[in-house]
Structure 1
């Protein structure tokens, strides 16, 4: 059964909401202002379609759900009446309610302690009515819905997530799951959008992101992102037991913060693809050694579109170049194919390859490469 965390009701629960909205409105990034306006609209529509007690927010302490938390705060602030919130030249009518939205947190023994600490501290600061579940997502929701029916759940899902395939901003739950509407206000946000929001609005986030983690799962399948690695350095540690007379401790690798990752396509480069990969890691003083891996972490499929290539009029240079670039950053190429300029054939191939590749990248004789999954 779920355990409900009873939190003191604080009048200051909505403190900082207008500062956040003003920060977004005042920033020079038109793209971010547009993304926020669209996300607020999705939240508004959800609150118009469902009663407040029929909706919940799934919070996991990660960067995406942290962004969604503050967008929800903008739409559901402690108050007594409706308020019109301005984002740029447009208006979004958001409900101000005198209570916080129901928040679901799936507590796991394999979660990072920093994630747990950040989640509970966030719940305390923002007066979240948090319900803690100690089951997997499907079983936990089934148990929760028996006692407290929910018709819609706000999720921090983004289009690049593995579970986002086929989803839209409003997506009914899959067959075999409890019936509810998955609401994805930031579905179309990029990695860059997420960090732009967090930094512009100056809101707290889990400190693991400052240690090189860019996508956080469990302690068993998550490592700092090697794309953020900086030159290793020696640490002076007088308490360390060393055989050397200098008292210099072993090399320690350091990482830049997650918001400095230039290529958002590498967001999940620190996530081990399969659980069995954890057993293949070489452990040194309890720290997994990514450099000791014998196989790539991720796989890709490269699709090249062009009737000219099929007719033999031009050579497939872009597909070869893209394959080399992916291999250069540690990816394995699972499949490469040349397709005709037919949207149905392309869509079918992308869907098929998405099932066994971490990314499907499509290029042609005319256009620049683009990642479709």
Structure 2
């Protein structure tokens, strides 16, 4: 299913690839975005019901959604929604996670609902007619050095869309989390933080769904609802036909950061993040911007290939040699 969300003709990087500290002739990332708040709507009860309906499907994705919701439901049940935060950076994994958290939060507001019960996932899939207040989600955004403007814009859009109380903190992850937790102690203390880490991410191999932070880190319970999701399942969820949310005219799109439309598969700062060389549309002039979208990556082990500036540069050089032959 092709995306209708592209609003610019060229990709954020349409020429040579920038490397850290270089001044190549690559075009600067476009600051335009298809995630305009004027064209989108906010997450509501119907969206929550759609997620729980998907969790009832006897499919690989349905089972993953069910397991993830069970983990989030348990966290809310044990700590209370106001004591649970999401570490949100605008990436694809966090976008899946905020959608799941919003669904669980809405379900937890239903009178008499026990979010940690089996009945939560097996109840009627029809839209709820019970009056439900709009829950607020606590989120911390650890802003990296030299962020992409598209990421900043998307985070701002999500803040409204998902009813987020966002606290942006600059600095390294450890220091930023400590600052955030110290600030929240003066308000409502945070006891658990949802993280979008997956099994094949750095340091994800031995994680469990619930794990306290390591020694030397700020003390809280880390919650990993999508730990065992694959790269393909992340995109299957974001592009599921029953989970439409955002400004797109096309059904089946939960809005994501527009950088993923142009070959980016893993996001960091502008100094260490590049389009994935595996998605370079070599010899295919029909692909706008020259890069295929993130969901077309076939080899999941290459998800972070765009974080390797040398590899990306080599790929571009090979393409240029082919073109000149």
> Which TM-score applies when normalising by structure 1?
0.60
* 1:135 equivalenced with 2:171 (yes/no): yes
Partner of 1:189: 229
CA distance in 1, matches of 2:119, 2:55: 6
Residue in 2 that maps onto 1:227: 278
* Residues 1:180 and 2:231 are matched in the alignment: no
- 1:212-361 → structure 2 map (5 Å cutoff): 212-232=263-283, 254-272=290-308, 289-291=313-315
Tell whether the 8 Å contact from 2:274 to 2:307 is kept in structure 1 after alignment: yes
- Distance of 1:214 and 1:63 partners within structure 2: 9
Q: 1:100 to 1:110 in 2, by over 3 A?
A: same
Distance change in 2, residues 1:81/1:26 (3 Å): closer
Deviations for 1:262-309, whole angstroms, at most 9, x for unmatched residues? Answer: 12111111112xxxxx5x69xxxxxx7343689xxxxxxxxxxxxxxx
What are the superposed Cα offsets for residues 90-133 of structure 1, whole Å, 9 maximum, x if unpaired? 5379xx76531211111234211111111111112222111111
Match of 1:44 in 2: 73
**Deviation of residue 49 (structure 1)?**
1.4
Q: Distance in 2 between matches of 1:169 and 1:23?
A: 23
**Deviation >6 Å, runs of 4+:** 84-89
Q: Measure the CA separation in 1 of the matches of 2:300 and 2:118.
A: 26
- CA 1:82 to 1:290, structure 2 compared with 1: closer, same or farther past 3 Å? farther
Counterpart check, 1:157 vs 2:181: no
Is the partner of 1:133 in helix, strand or coil? strand
Q: Would the alpha carbon gap of residues 61 and 82 (structure 1) be closer, same or farther in structure 2, given more than 3 Å must change?
A: farther
SS in 2 for 1:77: helix
Q: Computing the radius of gyration over CA atoms, which structure comes out larger, 1 or 2?
A: 1
Structure 1 residues not aligned, in runs of 5+: 1-10, 236-251, 273-277, 282-287, 295-373
Instruction: Between 35-44 and 16-25, report the one with greater CA deviation.
Output: 16-25
CA–CA distance in structure 2, aligned partners of residues 231 and 267 of structure 1:
19
Name the SS of the counterpart of 2:65 in structure 1.
Answer: helix
Larger % of strand: which? 1
Q: Confirm whether residue 119 of structure 1 aligns to residue 155 of structure 2.
A: yes
Residue-pair matches, total: 253
TM-score, length-normalised on structure 2? Answer: 0.69
- Selected match of 1:69 from 77, 87, 98: 98
How many Å apart are 1:181 and its aligned residue?
Answer: 0.7
Give the aligned partner of residue 249 of structure 2: none
